């Protein structure tokens, strides 16, 4: 699984990375990504060097192919991924196409314009615009409920999706939030696979409403 985190505030990005670590390794209480010490959490900080070269990527990814020490998976986090050279991005692309299931990559950038389109196509994208407030937070909670709560009406969920104006960006962000929610449950592997398929549909320019409708009916048995 690969995530691409895009934001215009480095502190917000770091806070999001800390949250994602805690959600995947529950015993680890991370408040500062740069001070995180865990044998299965690996950080390559592009902001500490002029650029990230192909040798840096190969050395970083090689470590993650070993069996995790404590956690069920390795987390490979690259902060400032926009500082990778084109050659390094191509090396990373090959890794994203064929890496162990025990590896989750999180690529974080403040400037997405320098990314190869093929890198973006291999990741679930999450845009950070700061904390959700008021109506937006309630709207996200309501939308999530149609996918995750057993007592919701699927037809109401369908109507909710249809009346909302979806962009690829907002749909990708929603799928990322749904993925995080599913990670907290059990027996959700089939739903995670369906979610990944829907992420690929979005990247293939399928209508966001069609993708989310397909996902909703695929989740009709709920969690």
Q: What is the pLDDT of residue 131?
A: 47
Q: 108: helix, coil or strand? A: strand
> Which region among 22-31, 59-68, 106-115, 145-154 has the lowest average model confidence (pLDDT)?
22-31
Find the mean pLDDT for residues 146-158. Answer: 87
Indicate the DSSP class of residue 39: T
Find the mean pLDDT for residues 188-199. Answer: 81
| Calpha distance 86→116 (Å, rounded) | 8
Which residues on adjacent β-strands are paired with residue 6? 109, 127
**For residue 23, what pLDDT band results from cuts at 50, 70 and 90?**
confident
Q: What is the pLDDT of residue 219?
A: 85
Q: 222: helix, coil or strand? A: coil
Residues of the chain above pLDDT 70, percent: 89
| Calpha distance 205→126 (Å, rounded) | 17
Which residues on adjacent β-strands are paired with residue 107? 4, 78
Q: Which two tokens stand for residue 45?
A: 């900080």
To which H or E segment does residue 77 belong?
A: strand 74-79
Find the mean pLDDT for residues 39-66. Answer: 90
**For residue 60, what pLDDT band results from cuts at 50, 70 and 90?**
very high
With contact defined as beta carbons under 8 Å apart, do 71 and 35 qualify?
no
Using the CB atoms, write b or e for 84-114: b if 16+ within 10 Å: beeebbbbbeebbeebeeebbbbbbbbeeee
> Which region among 77-91, 132-146, 198-212 has the lowest average model confidence (pLDDT)?
132-146
The pTM of this model reads 0.61
| Calpha distance 33→77 (Å, rounded) | 10
């Amino acid at each position: 699984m690969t995530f691409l985190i895009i934001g215009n505030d480095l502190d917000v990005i770091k806070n999001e990375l800390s949250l994602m670590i805690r959600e995947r390794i529950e015993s680890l209480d991370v408040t500062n990504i740069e001070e995180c010490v865990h044998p299965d959490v690996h950080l390559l900080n592009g902001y500490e060097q002029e650029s990230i070269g192909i040798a840096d990527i190969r050395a970083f990814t090689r470590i993650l192919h070993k069996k995790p020490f404590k956690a069920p998976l390795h987390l490979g986090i690259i902060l400032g991924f926009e500082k990778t050279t084109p050659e390094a991005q191509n090396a990373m692309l090959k890794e994203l196409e064929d890496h162990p299931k025990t590896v989750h990559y999180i690529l974080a950038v403040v400037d997405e314009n320098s990314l190869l389109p093929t890198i973006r196509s291999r990741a679930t994208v999450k845009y950070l615009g700061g904390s959700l407030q008021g109506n937006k937070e309630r709207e996200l909670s309501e939308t999530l409920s149609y996918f995750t709560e057993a007592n919701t009406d699927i037809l109401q969920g369908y109507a909710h999706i249809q009346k909302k104006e979806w962009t690829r960006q907002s749909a990708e962000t929603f799928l990322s939030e749904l993925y995080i929610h599913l990670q907290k449950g059990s027996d959700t592997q089939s739903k995670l696979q369906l979610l990944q398929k829907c992420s690929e549909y979005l990247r293939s320019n399928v209508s966001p409403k069609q993708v989310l409708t397909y996902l909703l009916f695929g989740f009709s048995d709920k969690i």
